[in-house]
Amino acid sequence: MKAHLSSLLTQAATKIGADTSQINLIIERPKSAEHGDFSSNLAMMLAKPLRKNPRELASSLINALPQSEYIVKVEIAGAGFINFFLNAQSKQSVISEILQQGAQFGRNDSGKNEKVQVEFVSANPTGPLHVGHGRGAAVGDCLARLLDANGWDVTREFYYNDAGAQIDNLLISVLARAKGIATDDISFPENGYRGDYIVDIANAYLAKSTISADDRQVTASGDLDDIESVRAFAVAYLRQEQDLDLKAFQIKFDVFSLESALYCTGKVENTVQNLIKSGHTYEQDNALWLKTTDFGDDKDRVMRKTDGGYTYFVPDVAYHLDKWNRGFVRVINEQGADHHSTINRVRAGLQALDVGIPPAWPDYVLHQMVTVMRGGEEVKLSKRAGSYVTLRDLIDEVGCDATRYFLAARRADSQLVFDIDLARAQTNDNPVYYIQYAHARINSVLTQWNGEIDCLKQANLSPLNMPNETKLLQRLGEYPEVVRSAATELAPHTIANYLKECAADLHSYYNDTKFLVDDATTKLARMALIAATQQVLKNGLNLLGVSAPNKM
């Protein structure tokens, strides 16, 4: 309906000699129903370029509006808002649209099939995935689903930081446990990892086990003097474990990239040499520096340390150059808030390469920490991980659906309290249960009716004129815009909020209405409305990676 009204206003503007191509034409729902169903600011936007009074312009636009079967009346309000009052048919038409389009309802082609890469999780292969990784997984996967629903060609990518000091710490931890050194022993490495999973890796290595990671199969030699064998096996072991956790979380990746590969293929060194050639580096105190201040950073950054090793942001620049060379028009990195400090450095490095990368490329979505609560107290430890709550802990406690919903249902940049008791509760206080129950309730009614859904596509919808029916119809009509807006703003939590509101409208309607009435016209109209609602709930839950059960 917004698209229809926008088209009418654009035609009207053309008739009065106005150009809307440079105008931000906004059509939104007024806060008060007495101001109509939709309102536009077009007259006020045209007032300055046309040098006319906005209320006079609004009157001219209204007089120039083409006829529409959906509009009952149009009024001018305030400084020049144009308010549209629509008939019942305009609101009811969404039902036929939903039933015709099914799973495609809400999808659009605004992305024009352009390539976008969403990188998320990207955990170091040094331990089980923690709840922060889980939040990144939920938000990142929802972003990918949203972008796909908006017509983008989406690639999901996981980047393993399998090089550097943390991998060294993993190595010495496995070696210590393989030699029988306990974590409380004075000789256990100070920076070592102490979770039970280290014992599992050590035992598997000594047993000469074979592990299959995404791109390789590694067989342990069992020789503790073979340092590289221990390192390769430990990394592969944890990569496999993380992959199993992600599968349990219904997460799939198209590409796995390794930091080590950037060094092996010479991409890091080539990137450094290209930065030197670009003239944006200098040497000082036996170190190589990048002039990141040329690109808005607060100070220049060391690239190559005095010991010859590269600082951590250098391979990140090489990795993102690789993304650019792979043809991604857009890249979105979903990461923890602790990555905030690297954004300017990576972007500065990419700008310094002088290869045409836009200044604000890539995009970032940073999530805040997660606090896990049970029985009113914070849960801090997992026996297996040793120092944090794992994603697997949550999945085992409350299931995949509740875990995904709760981790994605708040703005990524806000701190999240994950209440295990609430996530397990089968009550209306639990939002994911509340939404899924709405879907199941509808299915129960449709099953009792036992009719053909296809016949509802041509149902006479005129009986749908009760206030709760009008409210539900309006909610269904908002869904496509919510999907588009959530992708534009990179905000999957808005889908979760919409679904909760839609479920509330459905439950209210369900509690106040009898569906299987004697009057056939009324019955089919109500069946069509709840069938359309069920489809929208299912489509929205799918964008969150949450199931839509038929029974609860």
For the chain, helix, strand, coil in percent to 5 are 50, 15, 35
Tens digit of each residue's pLDDT (9 = 90 or more) over 75-92:
999 999 999 999 888 889
Residues 99, 19 within the same domain: no
Residues in the chain: 552
Nearest alpha carbon to residue 137 among 125, 124, 123, 121: 121
Give the mean pLDDT of the chain: 95
- Confidence label for 480 from pLDDT (cuts 50, 70 and 90): very high
- Confidence label for 19 from pLDDT (cuts 50, 70 and 90): confident
**38 within a domain of the structure (yes/no):** yes
When divided into structural domains, the chain yields a total of 2
Q: What is the C-alpha separation between 508 and 502, in angstroms, rounded?
A: 10
Q: Which two tokens stand for residue 212?
A: 């299959």
Whether the predicted pLDDT of 23 surpasses 90: no
- Confidence label for 163 from pLDDT (cuts 50, 70 and 90): confident
Residue 491: give its domain's CATH number: 1.10.730.10
**312 within a domain of the structure (yes/no):** no
**288 within a domain of the structure (yes/no):** no
Q: What is the C-alpha separation between 29 and 21, in angstroms, rounded?
A: 22
Residues forming a β-bridge with 40: 27, 82
Residues 56, 81 within the same domain: yes
**Could you tell me if residue 285 is left (phi over 0), alpha (psi between -120 and 50 degrees) or otherwise beta?**
left
**374 within a domain of the structure (yes/no):** no
Q: What is the C-alpha separation between 205 and 213, in angstroms, rounded?
A: 15
**64 within a domain of the structure (yes/no):** yes
HEC assignment per residue over 326-394: CCCCEEEEEEEHHHHHHHHHHHHHHHHCCCCCCCCCCEEEEECCEEEEECCEEECCCCCCCCCCEHHHH
Q: What is the C-alpha separation between 467 and 406, in angstroms, rounded?
A: 31
pLDDT at 384: 75
pLDDT at 34: 83
Residue 315 CB-half CA count within 13 A: 20
pLDDT at 63: 95
Tens digit of each residue's pLDDT (9 = 90 or more) over 27-80:
998 887 788 899 999 999 999 889 999 999 999 999 999 999 999 999 999 999
What sign for the dihedral angle of Cα 32, 34, 39, 44? negative
Higher pLDDT, 90 or 353: 353
3-state SS, residue 460? coil
- Confidence label for 22 from pLDDT (cuts 50, 70 and 90): confident
Whether the predicted pLDDT of 143 surpasses 90: yes
Residues 434, 509 within the same domain: yes
pLDDT at 220: 97
Whether the predicted pLDDT of 448 surpasses 80: yes
Place of tokens 């709550």: 389
Residues 511, 444 within the same domain: yes
- Confidence label for 225 from pLDDT (cuts 50, 70 and 90): very high
The whole-number average pLDDT for the span 424-450 is 97
Residue 23: give its domain's CATH number: 3.30.1360.70
- Confidence label for 167 from pLDDT (cuts 50, 70 and 90): very high
The whole-number average pLDDT for the span 210-235 is 93
Whether the predicted pLDDT of 122 surpasses 80: yes
Residues 43, 98 within the same domain: no
Whether the predicted pLDDT of 385 surpasses 80: no
What one-letter code names the amino acid at 457?
A: K
List the end-to-end C-alpha distance of the chain, in Å, as a whole number.
35
Beta strand 153-160 pairing with 115-120 = parallel
Whether the predicted pLDDT of 433 surpasses 80: yes
Q: What is the C-alpha separation between 309 and 297, in angstroms, rounded?
A: 22
pLDDT at 1: 84
Place of tokens 């400090």: 341
pLDDT at 43: 94
3-state SS, residue 503? helix
**127 within a domain of the structure (yes/no):** no
Q: What is the C-alpha separation between 552 and 549, in angstroms, rounded?
A: 7
Residues 473, 535 within the same domain: yes
- Confidence label for 528 from pLDDT (cuts 50, 70 and 90): very high
Residues 486, 501 within the same domain: yes
- Domain closes at, from 86, 118, 136: 86
Residues 97, 18 within the same domain: no
Q: What is the C-alpha separation between 455 and 471, in angstroms, rounded?
A: 24
Q: 436-456 burial, b for 16+ CB within 10 Å, e for fewer? A: bbbbbbbbebbeebeeeeeeb
Whether the predicted pLDDT of 216 surpasses 80: yes
pLDDT at 21: 84
pLDDT at 72: 92
The helix or strand, by DSSP H or E, that contains position 212, with its residue range, turns out to be strand 210-212
Is the CB of residue 136 less than 8 Å from the CB of residue 408? no
- For residue 147, give every residue at least 6 positions away whose Cβ sits within 8 Å of its Cβ, in sequence order, or none: 111, 116, 118, 154, 332, 487
Tens digit of each residue's pLDDT (9 = 90 or more) over 273-328:
999 999 999 999 999 999 999 998 889 999 999 999 999 899 999 999 999 999 99
**250 within a domain of the structure (yes/no):** no
Residues 458, 539 within the same domain: yes
Q: What is the C-alpha separation between 84 and 344, in angstroms, rounded?
A: 46
pLDDT at 524: 97
Residues 25, 104 within the same domain: no
Distances (CA, A) of 63 to 3, 74, 409: 20, 10, 45
The whole-number average pLDDT for the span 228-241 is 96
Domain range for 533: 92-110+428-543
- Confidence label for 214 from pLDDT (cuts 50, 70 and 90): confident
Q: 367-406 burial, b for 16+ CB within 10 Å, e for fewer? A: bbebebeeeeeebeebebbbebbbbbbbbebbebbbbbbb
What one-letter code names the amino acid at 352?
A: A
Residues 432, 529 within the same domain: yes
Residues 447, 511 within the same domain: yes
Tens digit of each residue's pLDDT (9 = 90 or more) over 395-425:
999 999 999 999 999 999 999 999 999 999 9
**283 within a domain of the structure (yes/no):** no
Residue 309: DSSP 8-state: P
R_g of the chain, CA atoms, integer Å:
28
pLDDT at 364: 97
Q: What is the C-alpha separation between 205 and 221, in angstroms, rounded?
A: 7
